[in-house]
Amino acid sequence: MVQLRLLRLVAMTAVALRSRQHLIAWALLLLAFGVRLAFLHATADRIWPYSCYFKGDALIFIQQASSGELLESGAPFRPPGVVLILAMIWDKTVEGFLWLRHFWMLLGALPSPLLYLLCRSSLGERVALIASSLLALASGPILLGSAVGSE
């Protein structure tokens, strides 16, 4: 009887910790996406196809996606997946491009909660939380995530 209660207590604790860790991961995702969203809407380039701080290769991708061309123009480092994703989800309008930039920002926000979930067991809760919070607020990934590109 005592062992059953102890097993139940351990199972409930594991579920509570797991849900707490998932809540933290969701909070990190919202933090990272919110910072990127605030950055995008605070700059004058929100409807441009690239960021004024980071041009990247967005124009080349947009030209290839709008022409339907699946070739990579002979450039050796461009993954064809980016052109295919652009061609599938972008409707070739300015409003659609703003949505596309939001989608790219969401992709750029994903590493922060993933880092937390992957590192908490090996490095500890505190280190994983600090590292993933710093990643969510780091300026480099914010700039990269605000422009549509493969970098």
Can you give the pTM of this predicted structure? 0.70
For residue range 34-65, what is the model confidence (pLDDT) as tens digits?
998 888 888 877 666 666 676 656 566 666 65
Do 10 and 19 meet the contact criterion of CB atoms below 8 Å apart? no
Query: Which residue, 145, 151, 132, 131, is CA-closest to 25?
Result: 132
Structure tokens at 119: 């590192």
Cα angle: 28, vertex 34, 40; to 5 degrees: 140
Give the contacts of 21 (CB within 8 A, at least 6 positions apart): 116, 117, 120
